[in-house]
Amino acid sequence: MSARPLTQARIDALKPRSTVRNLRDGTLKGFGVRILPSGRKRYFVHIQRDGRRLWKMLGDAESMRLEEARRRARALLAATRLDGAQTALPDEMCFEAVAEEVFRNYARHWKPRTLQVNRHYLRSQILPWFRGRSVADITRADVQQWFASRHATPAAADRSAPILSVILRQAEIYGYRPEGSNPCAGIRRYRRKDRERFLSEQELRRLAQALGRHEALEPLPVAFVRLLLLTGCRKSEVATLAWSSYREGHLFLPDSKVGPRTVWLSSPARAVLEELPRTSPWVFPSTPPDKPLGLHVFDRFWHRIRAEADLRDVRLHDTRHTYASIAILHGETVVTTGRLLGHHSPGTTLKYAHLSDASVRQAVDALGALLGSEG
């Protein structure tokens, strides 16, 4: 059955549904209006000719009358029929403008640190390739070519691909692309060697000695590293720790990566905290002490300490791997270790279960020497 002609009264009466829907015009082929779940309505042109697809948004139905939208659609379709010419894109249709709109509207779904990191990958990995392109014209071949061009930096490519997918998926929701057209679907990530690294007995001893030499002059960074080793927490969880979260011998983290969670503390971990001065609401305060120290302070300290201890390939995050490996070797179950680390899924913890060689077993004793005996 052919589509009914669109009328202004019909468009004004359209109500949103739970999903995006397109209403085609029975008068002008390829012209229609898209109704978003938010209630927003946008005029579009969508045709396919000689294997070429044309998808353009013409304007918002709240600010453009039907006849004006139909006039623009006719002009665009005529230009395409004559010589395949592409009319200038509205700014909102360019990839970079749509990406900015997505980041502005989607930010509430990301934690502040995640938003900051995602913006970095957008600027460094995605925009140099897609800037100036029509977001509606990006194809699966374009995405595959972009992803292949990132082979020299597979970690950055794997981190950037989900961000690009979010942008193009949201572009569908906003009405800038046809529904169900996300070209990132099914893109396989690069296979990389696992970066899990744990500290051996000798390495833990060298680290303990280096930390001891700096404790008098740099007590906060030293305590920071020790708490990472003793708790298995993420860097951001310890760096932003408030004294109000430390009570009853536990850390009650209100906003960790996986949401609120409780960290059970050993005696050495509690001892590290008890020895720190409480001059601020923050365990690791900046100067002035109205906010926590930035992670860059601890990263710079770690780069110096790991060089001094001859641990140049060890990241701060590897203290978390060391904690998990020792927990597994002490007989803790994968489920329990996952709870200690704040993992959502046991599968995330399973990567530690195979770490049973002698060097890791020796690390159990070395960690005790580093942290001190428990009562």
- In CATH, the architecture of 93-173 is Orthogonal Bundle (1.10)
Q: Angle at the Cα of 168 (from 163 to 171), degrees rounded to 5?
A: 125
Task: Flag the least confident range among 54-58, 182-186, 195-199, 211-215.
Answer: 195-199
Alpha carbon separation from 200 to 40, 194, 208 (Å, rounded): 59, 17, 12
Which tokens in the block code for residue 370? 């580093």
CATH 3.60.20.10 assigned to 201-371? no
Domains 8-87 and 201-371 share a fold: no
pLDDT tens per residue across span 338-363: 444 544 555 554 455 554 444 444 55
pLDDT in tens, 250-267: 888 887 665 677 887 878
Residues 6+ apart with CB under 8 A from 145: none
Residue 297: band (very low, low, confident or very high) from pLDDT cuts 50, 70, 90 = very high
Q: Average pLDDT, stretch 364-373?
A: 54
Return d(Cα 235, Cα 239) in angstroms, integer. 6
The 3 state secondary structure assigned to 147-158 is HHHCCCCHHHHH
Q: For 8-87, which CATH superfamily applies?
A: Integrase, DNA-binding domain (3.30.160.390)
Q: What is the pLDDT of residues 156-190, one digit of tens each?
A: 898 999 999 999 998 888 777 877 788 998 788 77
**pTM for this predicted structure:** 0.52
> CA-CA distances (angstroms) from residue 148 to 134, 163, 221?
21, 16, 40
Query: Domain limits of the chain?
Result: 8-87, 93-173, 201-371
- Could you tell me which residues come within 8 angstroms of residue 238 by beta carbon, excluding any fewer than 6 positions away? 224, 227, 228, 231, 283, 284
